[in-house]
């Protein structure tokens, strides 16, 4: 367990919009926890969504954090770590813990609808799980569209949340999950695991909307032999009617409050 290591936390925003009030609060909890434990606070910009990530949003995030006084000890851009992510994807493939999936969207939707009709939780049926190396190689050589899936073992995942206490998930309802579009394009749940491990993050403190990601990330951590950090999932900031803060309904950017004359 990581509790004996020097505390190291991270704030990992996606630069797809201005620094959000809720994100700033998450950064604050991480920063305070690091300072209280004489640890380190890492800023890691998760900019692998090339279509939506913008340099101006990255600057807005850094400026907003600086205005709030939330200084960071280390800084990373996820897009600059693509070679590292590829190395660990190849490791999973080489060890038979991940595989290429060539299923088409309409086939997957048909599977999903069939399961829903039967009253089952929809999950991937494992169609490509046992393709031979020869068949996989042929299809890759042909240039068939594909994704990379992680083999999910059916088990119970349990972890102790800093805020919520003991939480457990039954992985049998998940199915094999997509971890990358291809070797050069990992998805969130894979990239974040590799980066947290290599950044030596001891505590992952984030919004409760990430709870469903946690068992998936723990499975990948275990498969790669990484230490599992301690998790803490914060309640979200809500409107008086209990709805989530929305850019459509609320002024949610830190820059807005700064312009309005609020103090940090």
How do residues 35-57 score in pLDDT, each as one tens digit? 999 999 999 999 988 889 999 99
Pick the catalytic residue: 54, 138, 247, 249? Answer: 247
Query: So what's the pLDDT on residue 48?
Result: 84
Tokens linked to 11: 């704030």
Contacts of 159 (CB under 8 A, 6+ apart): 166, 167, 214, 215, 218, 228, 231
| pLDDT, tens digit, 9 for 90 and up, residues 79-119 | 999 999 999 999 999 999 999 999 999 999 999 999 999 98
Give the per-residue pLDDT at 121.
85
Nearest to 96 by CA among 141, 148, 146: 148
User: Per DSSP, what are the bridge partners of residue 234?
Assistant: 207
Q: What is the pLDDT of residue 120?
A: 86
Q: Is 5 annotated as catalytic?
A: no
Q: Contact 74/43 with Cβ under 8 angstroms?
A: yes
Which residues of the chain register pLDDT less than 50? 1-2
pLDDT at 108: 94
pLDDT given for residue 252 in this prediction: 87
**pLDDT score for 198:** 97
The counts of H helices and E strands in the chain are: 8, 11
Q: Can you tell me the distance from the alpha carbon of 235 to that of 208, in angstroms, rounded to the nearest whole number?
A: 6
Provide the whole-model pTM: 0.93
Residues making up the chain, counted from first to last: 264
Q: How far apart are CA 166 and CA 146, in angstroms?
A: 37
pLDDT computed for residue 1 by the predictor? 46
């Amino acid at each position: 367990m990581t509790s004996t290591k020097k505390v190291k936390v991270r704030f990992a925003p996606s630069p797809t919009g201005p620094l959000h009030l809720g994100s700033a609060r998450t950064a604050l909890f991480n920063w305070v926890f690091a300072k209280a434990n004489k640890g380190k606070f890492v800023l890691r910009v998760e900019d692998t969504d090339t279509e939506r990530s913008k340099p101006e949003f990255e600057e807005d995030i850094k400026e907003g954090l600086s205005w709030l006084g939330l200084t960071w000890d280390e800084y990373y851009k996820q897009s600059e770590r693509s070679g590292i992510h590829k190395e660990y994807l190849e490791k999973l493939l080489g060890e038979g813990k991940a595989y290429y999936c060539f299923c088409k969207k309409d086939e997957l939707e048909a599977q999903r609808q069939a399961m829903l009709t039967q009253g089952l939780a929809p999950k991937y049926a494992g169609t490509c799980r046992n393709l031979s190396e020869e068949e996989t190689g042929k299809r890759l050589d042909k240039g068939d569209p594909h994704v990379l899936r992680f083999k999910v073992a059916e088990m119970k995942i349990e972890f102790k949340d800093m805020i919520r206490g003991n939480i457990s998930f039954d992985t049998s309802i998940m199915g094999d999950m997509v971890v990358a579009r291809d070797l050069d394009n990992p998805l969130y749940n894979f990239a974040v695991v590799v980066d947290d491990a290599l950044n030596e993050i001891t505590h992952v403190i984030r919004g409760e909307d990430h709870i469903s990601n946690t068992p998936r990330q723990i499975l990948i951590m275990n498969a790669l032999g990484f230490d599992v950090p301690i998790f803490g999932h914060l309640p979200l900031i809500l409107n008086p009617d209990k709805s989530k803060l929305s850019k459509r309904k609320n002024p949610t950017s830190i820059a807005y409050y700064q312009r309005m004359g609020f103090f940090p």
